[in-house]
Amino acid sequence: LEHKIPIVKTDYLIIGSGIAGLFTALKLSAFGKVNILAKKELEDCNTRLAQGGIAAAVNDEDSPLLHLQDTMTAGAGICDYEAVKVLVEAGAERIKDLLEAGTDFDRKEGGALSLTREGAHSQARILHAADATGRAIHEALLKACRAQENISFSENHFLIDLLVDNENSQCYGALIYDHFHKEQIIYLARAVILGTGGAGQLYQYTTNPDVATGDGMAAAYRAGCELTDLEFIQFHPTALYSQDNQRFLISESVRGEGGLLYNSAGDRFMPKYHPQAELAPRDVVSRAILNEMTKSGDSYVNLDMRHIPNLQARFPTINAACLRKGIDISKDFVPVSPAAHYTMGGIKTNLYGETIIEGIYACGEAACTGVHGANRLASNSLLEGIVFAERVASQAEKIMAKPFNYSAGALATQNLLAPYSDSLQQEYDTIRSAMQKIMWEDVGIIRNKESLLKAQRKIQALKQQLPSLRAAMNHFESANMLTLAALVIEACLWREESRGGHYRSDFPERDDSQWLKHKVFVKNPAGGE
Ligand SMILES: Cc1cc2nc3c(=O)[nH]c(=O)nc-3n(C[C@H](O)[C@H](O)[C@H](O)COP(=O)(O)OP(=O)(O)OC[C@H]3O[C@@H](n4cnc5c(N)ncnc54)[C@H](O)[C@@H]3O)c2cc1C
């Protein structure tokens, strides 16, 4: 069978076509051949959906130090200082790169960049392109990458597993499933860069698209990399209410510009929960909304944005999305409720995107550099994507200097002979939604020991239900999500305090005397978890 599997040899294999993957590709293309793979279309990623903007200290009144302080405060005591320093100091340079690549950020009259302010930022430092910043960046980067001869793209190419030579603890490529042509491909590469994004799909309600299943994290874990900070999931307080799994985000900048929250009795409830009211940290607003919903039995609260000046021009994407649901933001309340939004934890890397397995790099939301600590400061994730992508690329000469002579004969992985079938869609859908419901109800905005233990038992039972016949991409996505769900639960059980995105009703206080530490998962070399 082995000889039938096509083999592609490249220098850099980049998994993911979001900001992290594309920016790394652009920088690496000066050094060698780059292949970018995406599991669906290139446009299917979180990056494309980013609304509010990207943070960087580019204003004269601002400074990297102020940005550092805001980031560390949001991170609730456990950010990695060195990583945050790298993030804020490189910000302005990387923004220049984005401008050079053709990103069209909004400008003021006279041409200076227009900067806005978001919750928990002490300065106006958010560059934006109306309320579709991610799309503007993504389009510019895609175009810039397409102009490079050294970069090639493949859509519908799903990362199954990383190929690691266990003797040398070195990665030499990846096993990929092309689910369009229904064939497996082996990519041999000097370095594999995981820009596979977050895992919002672990939850019943999320702002993330269906591709955000944490595959890169799970594959890295199986390959022997470390995962960390998994208990810290950011729930965005204001997603547009619907029964859909993927909910449309109503950006924080709506509240930044004066949007107010009301419960169904017509009370503006946020001032009662926090002195900053609607502009309190995201986790505080999410819990307050959940509390109001639980008290009233409603499925949402109301966001009033009718009084915001220039409403439709300032928020055209939000306006259009609401209109599609029959809501006129200039006249109606907008029903909102929280949704899983951002994965603070992920594949543990150093300041150059390196993992503990040589040849495996990670950047963007899939990685955990430590910049976000227990809670991400708004608009820092796009910035993290480009800053650490560049740090990975800064290793290019070192990577190219390494001998690289893995012959196809050295390849052996347990997946190569797996039988594939596409006939089990229904079974996998059932497992996926059951898992999402468990995570939402028992490992969500508020957790406690009892709910976590219950979730642990249920996830274990679901693992037993995975059909042994692998239905290609569905199988691996489900297996990946169940692996991650179990680790998230373990991390939540471990942290017996509340901090940032992690709230335990049985340990509601932050406890710096015991918990200024991180839980790191690494697969037991004998094969267990
Ligand atoms: C609605 C929304 C609004 C947001 N607004 C902002 C904002 O205003 N500012 C900000 O800073 N951040 C924002 N964020 C967060 C930010 O968009 C993301 O953190 C960031 O874009 C992540 O980029 P990435 O490149 O790491 O991953 P992504 O952009 O998610 O890309 C991941 C890529 O990996 C691919 N992939 C995944 N698994 C596999 C696999 N097994 N095989 C092959 N390919 C795979 C996917 O197909 C995709 O191409 C927002 C997020 C959402 C969802």
Instruction: Compute mean pLDDT per 10 residues along the chain, 529 residues long, and list them.
Output: 75 98 98 98 97 94 96 96 98 98 95 88 91 96 98 97 87 92 90 98 98 98 97 97 95 89 97 93 93 96 96 92 96 97 98 97 98 95 98 98 74 55 80 97 98 98 85 85 98 98 98 98 69
pLDDT at 166: 79
Tokens linked to 185: 């491909």
Q: Is the CB of 250 under 6 A from ligand 1?
A: no
pLDDT at 528: 47
pLDDT at 169: 85
Phi/psi for 364 (5° steps) reads 80, -155
55 CA from centroid of ligand 1 (Å): 16
Nearest CA to ligand 1 atom 41: 159
CA pair distance 488, 463, nearest whole angstrom: 15
Tokens linked to 43: 């446009």
pLDDT at 234: 97
Strand partners, 366: none
Identify the residue whose tokens are 């471990």.
494
CA pair distance 411, 3, nearest whole angstrom: 11
Cα 475 to chain centroid, rounded:
21
Q: Is the CB of 18 under 6 A from ligand 1?
A: yes
Annotated catalytic residue 457: no
CA pair distance 217, 219, nearest whole angstrom: 6
Q: Is the CB of 381 under 6 A from ligand 1?
A: yes
Cα 86 to chain centroid, rounded:
20
pLDDT at 2: 46
Nearest CA to ligand 1 atom 50: 50
| Whether 213 contacts 428, CB under 8 Å | no
pLDDT at 473: 83
Closest CA to 180 of 154, 205, 201, 152: 154
Helix (H, G, I), strand (E, B) or coil at 336: strand
Q: Is the CB of 346 under 6 A from ligand 1?
A: no
pLDDT at 408: 56
User: Of 94, 247, 282, 504, which is the active-site residue?
Assistant: 282
pLDDT at 118: 82
Q: Is the CB of 21 under 6 A from ligand 1?
A: yes
210 CA from centroid of ligand 1 (Å): 11
| Whether 289 contacts 272, CB under 8 Å | no
How much of the chain is in helix, strand and coil states, percent to nearest 5? Answer: 35, 20, 45
pLDDT at 435: 98
Nearest CA to ligand 1 atom 35: 16
Phi-psi region of 182 (alpha: psi -120 to 50; beta: other; left: phi over 0): left
Most informative mutation of 175, 187, 196, 473 for ligand 1 (most atoms within 8 A of CB): 196
Q: How far apart are the first and last CA of the chain?
A: 30
Atom of ligand 1 nearest to the CA of 383: 11
